[in-house]
Amino acid sequence: MARPTMEDVAARAGVSRALVSLVMRGSPKVSAARREAVLAAAAELGYSPHAMARSLASRTSHVLGVMVSDLHNPFWAEVVDGLDLYARAAGFELVINTGGREPARERQALASLASFRPAGIALLGPVVPSASIEAAAREGPVVLVSRSSRLSTVDTVNDDGRTGSALAVDHLVSLGHREIVHIDGGNGSQSAPRRTGYRLAMRRHGFEPRVVPGEYTEAAGAAAVRALDSRFTAVIAANDLNAVGVLSALADLGLRVPEDVSVVGYDNTWLAALRHIGLTTIDQPRHEMGRLAAEALIARARGEAPNPARLVVPPSLVVRASTAPPVSRR
């Protein structure tokens, strides 16, 4: 199939080629309604002008830098997918790297992205110090996904972690669970609000919170379960990847899910939906978060958003086969 052209986009959107060109250049002269129509047509057709060529011609960058904290976590792949879809429709292309959830490596990754002179940089779940983020924001637009910030020069996109954890606790309590353990995400992005939400919800129900140290990894989930005694009937994992480790460790201990222990994850990645896993989890709208990050970054790059965006998406509970009423373990 031939690569779609600007004329194809114009025909699909019912506008002139000149107007499509204005949209792709980020012109403020186009109305919001017409811009959305053109971007929707471009996304549907898979049209994307060559960003590097346009950058050289116009001396304006149409490249967005993206630093992903953890390439092993499928959550971030889905966020990038949403970010890329909107960015390409708006005439931008992505340059992606990772810092491996290590502050020193993330600083290097930021410097590497800056060398491309991008229109803006999206940091997905960064652990780099705030000073490094502030320094990057002095050079151009920056948006954080799954990390909060008070910097007036930085946009943020997060889910409501407190509410998400509360949904998990409420679900398990409604099933009759009382001894509910939360495996913490450590220094990972948004682990603090999830931890707070769990504690508040447990106390609201009159139960004692029990937080076990962990990280957003499969290995940490398995290690946390092996460190527990038998006084628990349900586990709220730090994220879906962590929950996979929990499921593996429980199987090694001869415990059945959900007959002996119920397990809830967080993120609702494709892992959770696999039939042999069937994980009850808290959904973060990954594609939507990516789209919002791209929108905020591009609006800032075009000078259309003088104030910082503080975008919060609502989480929701997705019930699958890993939770059930507790059965007394012998």
Q: Strand pairing of 262-267 and 280-283? A: parallel
User: What integer is the mean pLDDT of 122-141?
Assistant: 92
- Is pLDDT at 137 greater than 60 in this prediction? yes
Q: What pairs with residue 121 in β-bridges?
A: 65, 142
Q: How far is CA 128 from CA 69, 205, 239, in A?
A: 9, 36, 20
Element (H, E) at 142: strand 142-145
Give the rounded distance of the alpha carbon of 88 from its chain centre: 19
Q: Catalogue all structural domains in the chain, each as residue range(s) with its CATH number.
A: 1-47 (1.10.260.40), 161-284 (3.40.50.2300)
Return the minimum-mean-pLDDT range out of 11-20, 56-65, 90-99, 259-268: 56-65
Phi and psi (nearest 5°) for 199? -60, -45
Q: pTM value?
A: 0.79
Q: How far is CA 148 from CA 53, 71, 151, 190, 253, in A?
A: 35, 21, 9, 8, 38
* Predicted local distance difference test score (pLDDT) of residue 231: 86
pLDDT grade, residue 40 (50/70/90)?
confident
Residue 2 has which token pair?
């031939």
Q: Using CA atoms, how far apart are residues 75 and 145, in angstroms rounded to an integer?
A: 12
Residue of 7, 77, 81, 16 lying closest to 49 (CA atoms): 7
- Is pLDDT at 60 greater than 60 in this prediction? no
Return the minimum-mean-pLDDT range out of 59-73, 114-128, 196-210: 59-73
Q: Using CA atoms, how far apart are residues 127 and 141, in angstroms rounded to an integer?
A: 18
